Amino acid sequence: MDYIVCQEPGKFMLKQKAPPQALEGEALLKIRKIGICGTDLHAYAGNQPFFSYPRILGHELAASILEIDQHPVLKAGDNVVVMPYLSCGSCIACRRGKSNCCSSMKVLGVHTDGGMQEIISLPTDLLIPAPRLSLDEMAIVEPLAIGAHALRRANILTDEFVLVIGCGPIGLGLLKQVQLMGAKAIAMDVNEQRLQFASGEMGIPHVIKADDQALAVLSEITDKDLPTAVFDATGNRRALEAGPRYMAHGGRYILVGLSQDRLTFSHPEIHAKETAIICSRNATKEDFSQVISVLNEHNFPTTSFINHSVPFHQMIKNFDTWLAPETGVIKAMVEL
């Protein structure tokens, strides 16, 4: 079978190997769709934390079951969403239901080989049936679940103003889910094209350019209150450090994007606001189920969100273009 490996930063290779055999407790899967995310882009560029080479990328996966032992829910032929987080099940986080931040977490395509291969064998407890979803919808469940988990961590309330900084795929998913929850979504980015997409295709009513006028515009939108919840979905150090200034007194600051740098905050500024700083990592099965419910209602603009798609064997020659902001790629999808 064919697979694509990131051999080193800036270098993909198409290779062949024998198909895997399913181990006990696993199912043999045919990969059908692979979403390309920021982690894949950073890994290819050589600036992804906790990463080693060579690595088979790919953790936003829609798959079909080829072989599976007797199972109470799943059977051969079923289409499944893959939850790509391999947790130990026994550390303190896992024991308390927080498997998303397991102390020995391995994420497919990051810490261990992922789904850029025709066939893969995975534990059955990572597989979630989604019979009403299209393959495209199934492949975006994972990035949307990242946002769903962050929103649950922040305990978002109806009608509160929520600012999302960063209009990449995670940020756009966050914004739409904020809107669907009945809160007031505000998008901020330095990229005008991304802001136009948020406003037009995603239907976000308030968009703000991240410049010297941003705070004044934000104050006007919120009648001088500022947002009570601010999410960073950039992973950019300067953006991460600037986030608290946009937050209301008594608000929450939720860090979704991951930076490799140390962050510095003004203690008087965050203390005066009694800032709650919340980190949000990965997602749980509950978050995946929540996103599947949203997608089942067809309230998310999947067709607009996935605005670039290529066959598996054309991925390598297209990948470099996805790194360039001017190409306007929101979510690229690889088809097998």
* pLDDT single digits (tens) 232-272: 999 999 999 999 999 999 999 999 998 888 999 999 999 99
pLDDT band, residue 47 (cuts 50/70/90):
confident
What is the predicted pLDDT for the residue at 324? Answer: 82
What is the predicted pLDDT for the residue at 102? Answer: 97
Mean pLDDT score of the chain: 95
What is the predicted pLDDT for the residue at 86? Answer: 96
What is the predicted pLDDT for the residue at 296? Answer: 96
What is the predicted pLDDT for the residue at 325? Answer: 79
pLDDT of 206 > 90? The answer is yes
Question: Could you say which DSSP state residue 154 is in?
Answer: H
In CATH, the number for domain 146-279 is 3.40.50.720
What is the predicted pLDDT for the residue at 50? Answer: 73
As to burial, measured by CB atoms within 10 angstroms (0-12 exposed, 13-18 middle, 19+ buried), residue 282 is: buried
Q: Which of 312, 306, 315 is nearest to 335 (CA)?
A: 312
pLDDT of 335 > 90? The answer is yes
Longest Cα–Cα distance of the chain, Å, equals: 62
Question: Could you say which DSSP state residue 89 is in?
Answer: S
Beta strands in the chain (DSSP E): 2-8, 11-16, 26-36, 60-68, 79-82, 85-86, 106-107, 119-123, 127-129, 161-165, 184-189, 206-209, 229-232, 252-255, 276-279, 306-311, 331-335
Buried b (16+ CB within 10 A) or exposed e, 19-54: eeebeeebbbbbbbbbbbbbbbbbbbeeebeebeee
Q: What are phi and psi of 122, to 5 degrees?
A: -140, 155
pLDDT of 87 > 90? The answer is yes
Q: Is the peptide bond before 123 cis (omega within 30 degrees of 0)?
A: no
pTM of the model: 0.95
As to burial, measured by CB atoms within 10 angstroms (0-12 exposed, 13-18 middle, 19+ buried), residue 118 is: middle
Q: How many CA atoms lie within 13 A of 221 on its CB side?
A: 25
pLDDT of 48 > 90? The answer is no
How far apart, in whole angstroms, are the C-alpha atoms of residue 137 and residue 78? 15
> Do strands 26-36 and 229-232 pair parallel, antiparallel, or not at all (unpaired)?
unpaired
pLDDT of 49 > 80? The answer is no
DSSP structure string for 56-88: ----EEEEEEEEE---SS--TT-EEEE--EE--
Q: What average pLDDT does this structure show over 111-127? A: 97
* Residue 333 CB partners (closer than 8 Å, separation 6+): 33, 34, 35, 36, 136, 139, 306, 308, 309, 310
* Residue 290 CB partners (closer than 8 Å, separation 6+): 145, 148, 152
* pLDDT single digits (tens) 130-172: 999 999 999 999 999 999 999 999 999 999 999 999 999 999 9
Lowest mean pLDDT across 39-48, 181-190, 191-200, 282-291: 39-48
In CATH, the number for domain 2-129+301-335 is 3.90.180.10
Residues in the chain: 336
* pLDDT single digits (tens) 217-231: 999 999 999 999 999
How do the domains of the chain map onto residue ranges? Answer: 2-129+301-335, 146-279
